[in-house]
Amino acid sequence: MIRKYSTTLHGHRTSFSLEPAFHDELKGIAEARGLTLAALLREIDDTRGPGDNLSSALRLHVLEWLKQKAGGLST
């Protein structure tokens, strides 16, 4: 199920829709990097393309983070 979340980015309120699992991963990424969730969201927002959807950019960030983590595992 998709949930709507609200945050402030650069002084403007905005919302995004994500599955709770993606939101939980974003919180984990922020913690692992020593950032607040708000700081991570700003960073992702700042690096997405002008026409890119914030929700999609957040999901792609989680995907890239997990892919990098999986690539770092030794088998």
pLDDT, tens digit, 9 for 90 and up, residues 6-53: 999 999 999 999 999 999 999 999 999 999 999 999 999 999 998 999
Encode burial over 24-50: b for 16+ CB neighbours within 10 A, e otherwise.
Answer: ebbeebbeeeeeebeebbbebbeebee
Specify the pLDDT at position 75. 45
Mean pLDDT across the stretch 51-63? 96
Torsion 47-50-54-58 (CA) sign: negative
pLDDT at 54 over 90: yes
From CA 13, how far away is CA 62, in angstroms rounded? 22
Domain ranges of the chain: 3-71
From CA 14, how far away is CA 33, in angstroms rounded? 23
From CA 52, how far away is CA 71, in angstroms rounded? 26
Specify the pLDDT at position 71. 87
